[in-house]
Amino acid sequence: MSENILQEDKRMNKRIRRAKVVRTSAITFVCFVLGILIAMQYKNIREIKATEERSYNSLYEYQKELIKLQEEVDKLTQEKAELQKKVDLFEHGSYQQQIEHLEKELKNIKLFAGLTKVKGSGIEILIELTDPSTLGELPAVLLMLINELKASTAQAIAINGVRIGAMSEIRVVATSLVIDGQVYGQPIHIAAIGDQNNLLGILSTARGLIDHISGYGTVTITPRDTLILDAYDFEKMERYTNKLTPVEE
């Protein structure tokens, strides 16, 4: 009788152990499946978030492009209105009004070409090299700095008091700066008239150029409320244009 009881206990313990193994295996499987589902859900959430961010960025870019196009349309509309005023003036205006308009246009052309002494707010850049002989290592950087100013809102630029025009030649020879064939010593003084914030902003963007030059000396940038720049040398303009003949349309 006791033997039967023992055998029954063994069978019972065996069934309990088997049930525990099955239960543990089932729990492990459920956890594994649940982990996969959570990972898939997390991946889906990340993909949805990334898609939303791309959509937001695309929308932002579209809005920027739309604003830019609207500004261009407004500018063209304004130019059209100005041109229409000029047409009306020449068609219906008096002789005196036409003369005054042409004089105004000539004044604007001279301003644009740099043939007029001008003043305005802007910035000054003073470059003082520790060793003047190192200027020969900086011509490309100096030209890039001048081009950055030209590409920004600078409306007039002068280097060492010499007005820079569209045809100006700027070179480095030994320890001197040669502008339109004239030799100028150091330090290098650059003056630019234009919107101060934009000019300072473009110099901040071109910080690498400033830092590179600073490795050879000191670069001092000073905003100025009033700068006075001489006119571009008219004789130089005649020299650069004496072989040009206008084409009648």
Domain ranges of the chain: 1-92, 118-236
Weakest-pLDDT range from 1-15, 86-100, 147-161, 191-205: 1-15
Residue 231: pLDDT band with limits 50, 70, 90: confident
Element (H, E) at 9: helix 2-92
Based on the number of CB atoms within 10 Å of its own CB, is 130 exposed (0-12), middle (13-18) or buried (19 or more)? exposed
Query: Contact, 216 vs 129, CB < 8 A?
Result: yes
pLDDT of residue 98: 66
Residue 71, φ and ψ in degrees, nearest 5: -65, -40
pLDDT for 137-150, tens place per residue?
888 888 888 888 88
What's the pLDDT tens digit per position in 81-139? 777 776 766 666 666 766 776 777 777 777 776 778 889 999 999 999 888 888 888 88
Q: pLDDT confidence of 55, banded at 50, 70, 90?
A: low
Binned at pLDDT 50, 70 and 90, residue 189 comes out as very high
CA–CA distance, 29 with 35 (Å, rounded to integer): 10
List the CATH code of the domain at 118-236.
3.30.70.1880
Return the percent helix, strand and coil in the chain, to nearest 5: 60, 20, 20
Confidence of residue 48 (pLDDT cuts 50, 70, 90): low
Confidence bin at 6 (pLDDT 50/70/90): low
> Could you check whether the bond before residue 246 is cis, i.e. omega within 30 degrees of 0?
no
The pTM is what?
A: 0.57
Q: How confident is the model at residue 17 (pLDDT cuts 50, 70, 90)?
A: low
